[in-house]
Amino acid sequence: MLEACVFATILFGFFGIIFKQNLLMKIVSMDVMSTGVIAYYVLIASREGLFTPITSSTPTATDTAIAYADPVPQAVILTAIVIGFSIQALMLVGTMKLSRDNPALDYRQIEKDNTP
């Protein structure tokens, strides 16, 4: 059920990118799709274990039965979140520059006005 919700989030973002004409809505849709992809990656990475791989100095018999999470996907996800945030900020700055000449931010109108 959780996977279906994550895939629905990805599809909503994808269809928003395709069908919306406003550039701000396209940026928001891209962020929604990125969030869905990150959520799917976290969902897949959490299947092996949910506990942090920090062990005590004295191992006990119950420590071997615990499924520990892999820290590498966590680092990759943190990097993806930071890169996604910086890309979104860069796109919003570009949209702000475009909005000075084209207040509607409709990509069809911008293409029509700027083609030679």
Q: Which CATH class is domain 2-51+66-114?
A: mainly alpha
What does the block give as tokens for 72? 């590498």
What phi and psi, each to the nearest 5 degrees, are found at residue 57?
-75, -25
A 10 A CB-CB count for 29 gives 20
pLDDT at residue 56, as a whole number: 57
pLDDT at residue 107, as a whole number: 84
The model's pLDDT over 27-61, given as tens digits with 9 standing for 90+, comes to: 999 999 999 999 998 888 877 777 777 765 555 55
| pLDDT over 90 (residue 11) | yes
| pLDDT over 90 (residue 4) | yes
CA atoms within 13 Å, Cβ hemisphere of 68? 10
pLDDT at residue 64, as a whole number: 60
The model's pLDDT over 90-105, given as tens digits with 9 standing for 90+, comes to: 999 999 998 888 888 8
Return the domain boundaries, the chain. Answer: 2-51+66-114
Dist CA 67 CA 49 (whole Å): 5
Contacts 24+ apart (CB under 8 A), 81-86: 81/38, 84/31, 84/34, 84/38
